[in-house]
A and B are shown apart, each in its own frame.
Chain A
Amino acid sequence: MRTTQRSIRRWWQAVHRRLRSWELETPTARAGEQSLVDEAFLRRLERLVILARNMSSTGLIGEHRSRRRATSFEFADYRRYVAGDDLRRIDWNAYGRLEGLFLKLTEAKEDLPIHLLLDCSRSMNWGSPNKFVYAKQLVAALGYLALSRFDAVTVATFGERLYDRFPMVRGKHQALSLLSFLDNLAVGEHTDLGSSMMAYCSTNRRRGLAILVSDLHTRDGHEPGLIQLLQSGLEPHVLHLVDPQELAPRVKGEAEIFDLESGEVVELLVGPEVIRQYQERFDSWCGDVKAFCHQRDISYLRVDTSIPLEQLILKDMRQARVVR
């Protein structure tokens, strides 16, 4: 027993060290803010659960309540008997009191496969704080949360193609290997969401929740990729990372604005009017993305990377009903 406690303590320490190393990489850590490595935060993560709107059966018993009724000990509801029902499930006590035939429905508990899709394109490696580091921290936190809930978790990285994949695992003890996987990620080229998602879905046989962490700056647009996820039976959640500088660029005068992914350069004499027009276009695009998601019942959350991660997960994602 003592050996088990010691090994658990070592595991905790290893997780903390890894997360702390990420924190050093990123300039997000500011005095007075709670960080990811806060043990209390991790404890609170363990109490959260990722919500799925359309639960699908995986055949494995998990901790998510299933819409499917199945044989179990947890009562769910009654319904009237119809011909063909299993006579063994008739509640005879209810029949004795109500003189009607009712079936006692019990609730199935199923596990929820979580597909964490992380954008590793070059456009993510920008911003203050760096969007890529922020995204890795977010995926790490969500992965840890899911593993704590005994959900099956897999992580896939993509850019102009599908890069790498962390195999589907279950159980909190896999957290360290997940963090190690995230730790070794590198930034790739441009983003091609449609082909990347097509490649992912063609190899994925398990349905579940697909959490897309990306800035959605893709060459082919965001639509093909999201539609591909929907068509493959996954329930997409879009976490749209936006840097504060994207919202309000701090540039003035004659400027050479160049694209991190394509290298394209636009020369502008930037003044208040140009900034206003830029913000108008950017807001319009974000609105288009949001409307697209809502039209297809896709959960969408715009994530301002200046918001501390703890606040994002414990407050904003709760409000958006991504977690509970």
Chain B
Amino acid sequence: MSFLQPAALTFLVLMPVIVLFYLLRAQHNRLPVPTVRFWREIPSDLEGRPTWRTPLRNLLLYLQLLLILLVALALARPALLGGEKRHLVILLDASASMQATDVLPSRFEEAKRQAHLLIDGLAASDEASLIRVARTPVLLEAGDDRRELHSAIDAAEQSSSPGDIPSALALAQSLVERSRGARTEVILISDGAFPGHEVALVSSLAAQFRHIVVGQTDDNQAITGLSVRPSLGTVGRYVGFIRIVNYANRPVTVPFRALADGLPIDNRPLQLPARGHAELTLALPQGTKLLDVSLQTDDALRVDDHAQVLIGAERPRSVVVASAQPAFWEKALTAVPLVRVTKVRPSQYQPGPADLTVLDGFVPRDLPRGNLLLVNPSRDNQFVEVVGETGPVQAIRARSDHPLLDAADLTALYIAKTRQIRPPAWADVLLEASGTPLLFAGREQGRRVVVLAFDPVASELPQRIAFPILINNVMAWMAPEELATEVKPGEIVELVPAPEAREVTVRLPNNKALSVVARGRPIRFSATDLIGRYTVVHSGPAGVISQQTFVVNVTSEVESDIRPRDQNALVAGVAGERGATVQPGVQRELWTWLAALAFLVIAGEWWAYCRRYAT
């Protein structure tokens, strides 16, 4: 047996209060009389009696205590639970839409409260697993220790990222598969602000599924899009594009404000139709570095009322070219903006810091720490296995979906002679000619490596229009000139340390700083849950080398559409009876019997009172 509302047992504190009332002497009956002279000096045993009295011989007291006990037990909703062991997998939605305050204090806090109730409803032998659903679902706690489960719920933090429901369901499925012999149920506590088709994935769950809906209103206006583009026909001027959506079922007027580097450039009321949107175009002053837009509204979700975008946050990239014919590479690379090329003869090459090192025709014993472009690697290198040479060949297969070959058409490329290289495990072959890989790329020990198996001079590549595009793609992929301008909360940002950097420090929007030792490899930075501006500082022995910034905005149509959606119906449609909302495991609630018994006790107490059992 278990209690579905154990908090009601606090009513039992009334029992000692009742006993206290009986312990205290009752208030005297006040009887006015014309004269007290006939009452005086009548011997009575009242005088000298203690203030306290023993209530043990009082039937009314016992009946009233029994009544409180029965009522408290009835309110606690005792229930006979099924003998079968249960495993509850609770998916706690911590996505941005759960920050809505239409349910006070917030939807996320309400979801945590619901999770506490579910844990309280567990039988002694039941188990539960708690998954926090954000961009990356995390298993917070699993087991039968209710205290740990409650603590995990309390410690769960709200996120500003969208919830990854498919990953969360996959994680839940793995937990379901582990709990053999137990009846499992997956319970999603969420406002349903995610695509319905994601929940449809529960059809693959080998467990019951239930969606507890949190939220009441759809009153939200959001900035769902913010970007800047160079202004056509001008130099150094940009135009901002803003998309504002009203998700409420009523038209609203929202004050809109835009700041360029902190100075107001627009301030106007926006009239938005019910469930409609507005798109704004703002011409930014020349030299603007930061565009900041906001809605001055009191809607339910505040996190999507503000967004920022950075403009022109490039930094110069250093490229070391070790080649016998460096002029060729210098000409090709300097066409890419913000690239500083350092030429060196292969015999004079010493590994040093650089965003990209081009090793043409040789591979040194000690490779540099940064990214590498190996061209026509020599036979005796220890980095890639060269098994021979062949030629002439013609490229017949290209991976156009890879960023390196984006818009670069290398099919039917004629190559007079090429190395035959066995592609390593870390590499993806992007271009090949009848079994001979010509171009492959991948990550090796944290750095990016591109291998071109042939000498471009001995091919028609320099004559192809795809060549500068390929070089540009190589630079963009291996040494990006800027950080992603618009990062979503929870998204991983790849920070490429400056070549000389020893430490990379990221200052968060809340002014906290996180530092990472730079080892020449890109750093995957994932602490992007906070909305706002992040500053990345590359530091070397001599101090700060360079700074970069990026901003994190919500700008998610899925998260901003906070209309509560009951996904049970969808689940029922897909998974049949799995959308049932019946209290799991409860065979029979006993409160009705207890309430009936309480009524009987009330009647008995009244009967006893009428029969003057009271002393």
Contact = CB atoms under 8 A, between A and B. Distances in A.
Contact of B39 (A126, A217, A268): A268
Nearest to B35: A217
Interface string A280-295: 0110010000000000
Interface residues of B, number: 20
Contact of B31 (A127, A249, A262, A277): A249
A123 B34 contact: yes
Nearest to A218: B35
A307 interface: no
Contact of A257 (B26, B36, B45, B49): B36
A3 B188 CA distance: 99
B44 A251 contact: no
Nearest to B25: A254
A227 interface: no
A285 B37 CA distance: 10
Contacts of A264: 36
B536 to A, nearest CB: 83
B440 to A, nearest CB: 102
Determine chain A's interface SS by DSSP, over half rule. mixed
Interface string B31-59: 11111101110101111010000000000
Contact of A254 (B26, B32, B39): B26
A86 to B, nearest CB: 57
Nearest to B614: A253
Interface string A250-267: 011111111111101111
B28 interface: yes
Contacts of A124: 34
Given A268-B39, A281-B38, A285-B38, A254 B46 contact: yes
B47 A267 contact: yes
B30 interface: yes
Given A254-B46, A277-B42, A267 B28 contact: yes
A283 to B, nearest CB: 10
Given A268-B42, A269-B46, A277-B42, A254 B35 contact: no
Central interface residue in B38, B39, B46, by most chain A CB within 10 Å = B39
Interface in B130-148: none
A258 B33 CA distance: 6
B100 to A, nearest CB: 61
A259 B33 contact: yes
A35 B509 CA distance: 93
A14 interface: no
A274 B35 contact: no
A324 B432 CA distance: 146
A269 B44 contact: yes
B29 interface: yes
Nearest to A281: B38
B34 A258 contact: no
A270 to B, nearest CB: 8
Nearest to A268: B44
A215 interface: yes
Interface in B7-34: 25-26, 28-34
A147 B25 CA distance: 58
A278 interface: yes
Contacts of A274: 42, 44
A155 to B, nearest CB: 22
A164 interface: no
B34 A257 contact: no
A63 interface: no
A176 to B, nearest CB: 31
B367 to A, nearest CB: 101
A249 B38 CA distance: 12
Given A267-B47, A268-B46, A254 B38 contact: no
Contacts of A267: 28, 44, 46-47
A246 interface: yes
Contacts of B35: 123, 217, 259-261
Contacts of B26: 253-254
B29 A254 contact: yes
Nearest to A245: B33
A261 B34 contact: yes
Nearest to B40: A266
A269 B45 contact: yes
Given A266-B39, A268-B46, A278-B42, A251 B31 contact: yes
A197 B38 CA distance: 25
Highest count of chain A CB atoms <10 Å: which of B26, B30, B33: B33
A217 B31 CA distance: 17
B44 A260 contact: no
Contacts of A270: 44
Interface of B: 25-26, 28-36, 38-40, 42, 44-47, 49
18 contacts: A123-B34, A124-B34, A249-B33, A252-B29, A254-B46, A255-B29, A255-B31, A256-B28, A258-B32, A259-B34, A259-B36, A261-B34, A261-B35, A266-B39, A269-B44, A269-B45, A278-B42, A281-B38
Interface of A: 123-124, 126-127, 131, 215, 217, 243, 246, 249, 251-262, 264-270, 274, 277-278, 281-282, 285
Top 3 closest A-B pairs, CB basis? A123-B34, A269-B46, A256-B28
Given A261-B34, A278-B42, 6 more contacts: A249-B31, A255-B30, A256-B29, A259-B35, A259-B36, A267-B28
